[in-house]
Amino acid sequence: MTKNLVLALSGGVGGAKLALGLSHIVAPENLLIVANTGDDFEHLGLSISPDIDTLTYALANLDNQTLGWGRRDETWSFMETLATLGGPAWFRLGDRDLALHVQRTLRLKAGETLAAITADLTARLGIAARILPMSNDPVRTRVDTNEGILDFQDYFVGRQCQPEVKSLHFAGAEAARPHPDFRAALASPSLRAVIICPSNPFISVEPILALPGIRTALAACEAPVIAVSPIIGGRAVKGPTAKMMTELGLTPSAAAVAARYADFLDGYIIDHQDAAEAAGLTPRTILAATLMTTLEHKIALAQTALDLADSL
Amino acid sequence: MTKNLVLALSGGVGGAKLALGLSHIVAPENLLIVANTGDDFEHLGLSISPDIDTLTYALANLDNQTLGWGRRDETWSFMETLATLGGPAWFRLGDRDLALHVQRTLRLKAGETLAAITADLTARLGIAARILPMSNDPVRTRVDTNEGILDFQDYFVGRQCQPEVKSLHFAGAEAARPHPDFRAALASPSLRAVIICPSNPFISVEPILALPGIRTALAACEAPVIAVSPIIGGRAVKGPTAKMMTELGLTPSAAAVAARYADFLDGYIIDHQDAAEAAGLTPRTILAATLMTTLEHKIALAQTALDLADSL
């Protein structure tokens, strides 16, 4: 059997960059991007799936590169007006972005699954590869902080990651069923590689790993499991990864991220800046330019990850 | 007791013009505008109250005079995007308008009444007079047509009033409680006048009249009840009033509208064009310029209505 199936596990921004790179070098029918849904929440009566949406906008070439989140060509009339009406304005939703949430919510209420809705909406936006929620069942990341337990978006957007993190909990994960196609991909004889995208391990990757059977399946799968470090020179490109690591008693480093995946990781890609860490790492580790500022960088890093997998 | 309370019953566009005129000549604490809610419906998961909104935008000087409905300075990003995602695009909601529906829906779901929400939102938009839904209980106008029974907005917007109307039904009206402040106003010893605004009698005024006790209270109230004809020269200024009258076997005329209110009408204002009808009318009838194209026209017609009431 030809090993051609690439399974990517991804959170939002950083992960979406590598997923976009993969989508340029892997045939769409051979690429399955599993998205974290631990960030999902209900707001303004809408079901919002931030990581699915970030992946969707990135792969549809609709991502807002000025803001670094949301949709391009966005307008803000809704949010401006909602604020004047006394509505909750702490989570900003652009007018175009809002349409995605409204349509998703309508279809969820009508009984469709998140996976089916995501498949249809991504297809309508011209995305050929498949973006799959890790589960159709709700998983909700909660952050235990020095200010108490916060829902993820309250911590992440509402409090801008300022509270000190003590631990993370993925409510619902124990009972959630990984999407059958995710399980099937992990068990597939045609699986070429699993790529853990450079997303925050604690809030983007570990909710996926918390689903029943996933860690075991990753450890058992015959294909190489490759991760790309989200830490460069002891810092996160974007987001609270490094701050969280410190608060959780870890030294922010590529090595500390790899340690979170020690039970299944076969290959690891770290930035040239972190060359000194390579020697101490157990998985096969290579150096690359991991800061993906252009499409060329994204494609090159995706190719590096596949080459590493193919070499193992 | 000083008779200073003016109670206006109104639907959307035409009624809102006169209500705006009244708001310029009646002190806000003495003006109660009762809005039809028979047009209300649920769409995209939102609770939409078209007549309340039209009144709100008109009195807040936010009405879109180019479109003749909705909000001014509107943008349409949401609707454009929703259409590309395969969402329902038949009922157009502007980005700013949407904020009002989202906020209303959130607060209804949180257990507030439509009246309380309307009071707060209109105050936030700078409206001093009171816009009151006829009831906090749902009333839904249904149109029996040659194509079957249609929900009001399916008929009005979805089918653009093309089906032939056989009859109208106000679902829920029999069980709906008129808002207590509406009942109290009708019974108030300080009531100066009741003004039936120039709205479609069948779909804007009669849902209000269908609430238990309202027709009786109008007939019994000591203050004069004045209506302004929505028909000028046998035609409606806007909307399907004349078409509906024909389909219901009536001759479109100011006189035919007055006949709908025969049991309680004390005074009637018709357009100069319809002078020939005045002689045949039982309520005290006067002629005026009823086409309200400017604010001055709206104020003048409001003053004419109050003068007529005060003369009776």
Question: Which residues of B, range 25-84, sit inside 8 Å of A by Cβ?
Answer: 44-46, 74-75, 77-82, 84
How would residue B237 be classed by pLDDT, with cut points 50, 70 and 90? confident
**Cβ(B191)–Cβ(B222) below 8 Å:** yes
Domain boundaries, chain A: 5-311
Average pLDDT over residues B221-242: 92
How would residue B4 be classed by pLDDT, with cut points 50, 70 and 90? very high
Write down the pLDDT at residue A295: 96
**Cβ(A194)–Cβ(A223) below 8 Å:** yes
Write down the pLDDT at residue B65: 87
**B99 and A109 in contact by Cβ < 8 A?**
no
* Among the partner residues A87, A95, A124, nearest to B77 by beta-carbon distance: A95
Chain-centre distance for alpha carbon A184: 20
Q: In this complex, how many residue pairs, one in chain A and one in chain B, have their CB atoms less than 8 Å apart?
A: 103
Tell me the per-residue pLDDT of B38-56, one tens digit each, with 9 for 90 and over. 999 999 999 999 999 999 9
Name the residue of chain A whose CA is nearest to B80's CA: A96
- What's the gap in Å between the CA of A34 and the closest CA on chain B? 21
Write down the pLDDT at residue B167: 96
- Torsion, CA A63, CA A69, CA A75, CA A81, rounded to 10: 160
Tell me the per-residue pLDDT of B140-161, one tens digit each, with 9 for 90 and over. 999 999 999 999 999 999 999 9
* Assessment of whether the complete model's pTM goes beyond 0.90: yes
**B96 and A78 in contact by Cβ < 8 A?**
yes
**Cβ(B2)–Cβ(B30) below 8 Å:** no
**CB of A102 within 8 Å of any CB in chain B?**
yes
The CA distance from A3 to A185, in Å, is 11
Average pLDDT over residues B51-73: 94
Write down the pLDDT at residue B239: 85
Tell me the per-residue pLDDT of A275-287, one tens digit each, with 9 for 90 and over. 999 999 999 999 9
* Among the partner residues B75, B78, B94, nearest to A99 by beta-carbon distance: B78
| Positions in chain A whose pLDDT score sits under 50 | none
For residue B68, pLDDT over 90 is answered with: no
ipTM of the complex model: 0.93
CA B200 to each of CA B36, B46, B86, B286: distance values in angstroms, whole numbers, following the listed order: 11, 25, 34, 20
For residue B1, pLDDT over 80 is answered with: no
Looking at every residue in chain B, the average pLDDT score rounds to 96
Residue range B5-311 forms a domain whose CATH class is alpha beta
Token readout for A200 is 């925050």
Write down the pLDDT at residue A164: 97
Write down the pLDDT at residue A68: 85
- What's the gap in Å between the CA of B81 and the closest CA on chain A? 6
- Element (DSSP H or E) covering residue B236: strand B235-236
